[in-house]
Amino acid sequence: MPIHNSDISRILKQVADLLEIKGANPFRVRAYRNAARTVGDYPQSMAEMLGRGRDLVEISGIGEDLAGKIVEIVETGRLKMLEELQEEVPGDLSELLQISGLGPRRVAALHDALDIKSLEELAEAAEKQKIRALKGFGKKIEKKFLKEVKRRAKTDFRIKFAEAEQIAGPLQAYLEKTEGVKQVVVAGSFRRRKETVGDLDILVTCKRGSKVMDRFSSFEDVEEVLAKGDTKSSVRLRGGLQVDLRVVPGVSYGAALYYFTGSKKHNIAVRRMAQKKGLKINEYGVFRGAEEDRERIAGASEEEVLSAVALPYIEPELREDQGEIEAAREGKLPELITLDDLRGDLHVHTRATDGRSSLREMADAARSLGYSYLAITEHSQAVRMAKGLKRKQLEQQIEEIDELNEEFSGFRIFKGIEVDILEDGALDLPDAVLKKLDLRVCAVHSSFDLSVEKQTERIIRAMDNPCFNILAHPVGRLINKRQAYRVDVMRLIEVALDRGCFLELNAHPDRLDLNDHHCRLAKEKGLKVAISTDAHHTGGLRNMQYGIYQARRGWLSKNDVINTRKTADLVKLMQR
């Protein structure tokens, strides 16, 4: 049974949640939570590393005890410590922490007072108005809990793209080793690089007689075979994800890939174009003529299919029927940004706050990626849980960065900060300190429940400060965990453009904030975007690829992104 990094991360996070509900030592809780994030972000499979004899203690932030826990999970698929905690604290209590406004103390209070152990029991108590009477809660919070539980109940099963990638990669490699298989590609929303994925659609071309269907249904992660045939099979994996495999002939490969990549709306629009030309497009090819003597005129490649309706190739990330067909027809498709276009990362953390790698380690990792610069942006003092820096600590780090920069040639560490935007719009550190920095990444980490008007004005007041450079994760959402706070993004784009500020596209797989729609709004208004990882360790720098996927879905080109600029040009952009 394969164990993915996402499985390990989920178990370690649940341990942290239950420890926190129990009131365990905060440092112990933080160690498990940090380890969960490290494993979840890590670019290599923990299971494969152990299989090659690697010592996990080599990974920053993973000590002997945590390494042993990870080995146990990989070898058994379980963690005895978690099972013991679940006997002491009902395991479903950790689910309650996914509800906005429910921290460990409140979860413990609800459990002690009302014996609430699950989301269903939380909703029932809220409907019966039992929660409002408890100290520290109230009517408003009770209604919020009920609304959030109902919203989550209506949400379809979808996993984050990065988690889907951890599943799709090994499965694709496994199928490619099947005798007689020629091509294996994962289509659907996965190929369009959507933020979340509901299932996987895999297409295969192979020689006649290949045992690919038998091999597919025998994959060790398969929990249930839903259907099995000569050309199509469906399975459900251990984590609940459904995977469909289709064998297609080479002559239809392009048509099938185009059809199953989608989106549905895009495909319908292209099929209508074909109908006007007397053609029919389906997953088998492009055909001309009446049903009885229909002739296949294209289908081996996607380029053939699009050429049949006089369109150039359209990148999968754009296929959402949101103007890409008209742009293709007029020769105005954007030249989408690539990972190679980036020259640096403008939002990362080190051990000085809640990171797990040192300043030098982060700099060396950035250099190994071929970057020209890296901005160190620790949390400011308001974020106490992340050990946010006070004035003297920040000034000390400034000196450390200056000393380290003297060692480098062709690479620069930018002195920065992720400074909190307080509820009144003030920044969390004095201007006199902020002016000593090369750039300031400004963020909302509190008071998420403000009205759209108050939240928007709060951020605009912060933008009025000449020290403000980049708005971090602009809507504050965590995918599948926390909804965005209410804010007028169009207004922020307009004000940022006027003030000489920029918005961040946070590349962390949990955030991907800005979303694709907001990226495109920024592009249309002429506002440049920074794509940054928010990395907390060296492996997190490799999350940049997810930001690139999101940027491509948002139609962004190289010139739309500020960290494609040379060092000197970026310095000028940061000087308002």
Q: HEC states along 317-340?
A: HHCCCCCHHHHHHCCCCCCECCHH
Q: Are 321 and 269 in contact (CB under 8 A)?
A: yes
Task: Fold for 5-154, please state it.
Answer: DNA polymerase; domain 1 (1.10.150)
CB atoms within 10 A of CB 501: 25
Which residues are CB-contacts of 267 (< 8 A; sequence separation ≥ 6)?
258, 259
Q: Which of 446, 384, 382, 455 is nearest to 101 (CA)?
A: 446
Q: Is 208 exposed, middle or buried (0-12, 13-18, 19+ CB in 10 A)?
A: exposed
Give span(s): CATH 3.30.460.10, the chain.
Answer: 159-247
Task: Fold for 252-329, please state it.
Answer: Beta Polymerase; domain 3 (3.30.210)
Tokens of 203: 């297409």
Give span(s): CATH 3.20.20.140, the chain.
Answer: 339-573
Domain 159-247: assigned CATH number: 3.30.460.10
CA atoms of 558 and 528, how far apart (whole Å): 10
SS3 446: coil
Query: For position 103, what pLDDT does the model report?
Result: 78
CA atoms of 347 and 48, how far apart (whole Å): 29
H-only helix segments in 115-157: 119-127, 139-154
Q: Are 281 and 271 in contact (CB under 8 A)?
A: yes
What values do phi and psi take at 556, rounded to 5?
-80, 140
Q: Which of 372, 425, 288 is nearest to 565 (CA)?
A: 372
Question: Can you name the residues that pair with 442 across neighbouring β-strands?
Answer: 419, 471
Which residues are CB-contacts of 264 (< 8 A; sequence separation ≥ 6)?
none
Question: Can you name the residues that pair with 418 across neighbouring β-strands?
Answer: 379, 441
Distances (CA, A) of 310 to 266, 297, 303, 313: 15, 13, 10, 10
Q: Are 374 and 345 in contact (CB under 8 A)?
A: yes
Tokens of 331: 């020769």
The conformation of residue 294, written as its DSSP 8-state character, comes to -
SS3 263: coil
CA atoms of 494 and 93, how far apart (whole Å): 43
Query: For position 102, what pLDDT does the model report?
Result: 79
pLDDT per residue as tens, the chain (576 positions): 678 888 898 899 889 888 888 888 888 888 888 888 888 888 788 888 888 888 888 887 788 899 899 999 998 888 999 888 888 876 567 778 777 777 778 888 888 888 888 888 888 888 888 888 888 888 888 888 888 887 776 666 789 999 999 999 999 999 999 999 999 999 999 999 999 999 999 999 999 989 999 999 999 999 999 999 999 999 999 888 999 999 999 999 999 999 999 999 999 999 999 999 999 999 999 999 877 778 999 999 999 999 999 999 999 999 999 999 999 999 999 999 999 999 999 999 999 998 989 999 999 999 999 999 999 999 998 887 778 899 999 999 999 999 999 999 999 999 999 999 999 999 999 999 999 999 999 999 999 989 999 999 999 999 999 999 999 999 999 998 888 999 999 999 999 999 999 999 999 999 999 999 999 999 999 999 999 999 999 999 999 999 999 999 999 999 999 999 999 999 999 998
What sign results for the dihedral spanned by CA atoms 58, 61, 67, 71?
Answer: negative
CA atoms of 267 and 252, how far apart (whole Å): 16
CA atoms of 17 and 91, how far apart (whole Å): 9
What is the identity of the amino acid at 3?
I
Q: Is the peptide bond before 263 cis (omega within 30 degrees of 0)?
A: yes
Question: Can you name the residues that pair with 246 across neighbouring β-strands?
Answer: 203, 232
Q: Are 576 and 499 in contact (CB under 8 A)?
A: yes
- Of the chain, the end-to-end C-alpha distance in Å amounts to 55
Tokens of 493: 């784009």
Which residues are CB-contacts of 406 (< 8 A; sequence separation ≥ 6)?
none
The domain at 339-573 falls in which architecture?
Alpha-Beta Barrel (3.20)
- The contacts found for 292-296 with CB under 8 angstroms, 24 or more apart, are 296/251
Query: For position 518, what pLDDT does the model report?
Result: 97
Give span(s): CATH 3.30.210.10, the chain.
Answer: 252-329
Tokens of 73: 């999970």
CB atoms within 10 A of CB 573: 17
Q: Are 435 and 466 in contact (CB under 8 A)?
A: no
What values do phi and psi take at 175, rounded to 5?
-70, -35
CA atoms of 47 and 6, how far apart (whole Å): 11
Tokens of 49: 């590393």
Q: Which of 334, 344, 327, 340 is nearest to 557 (CA)?
A: 334
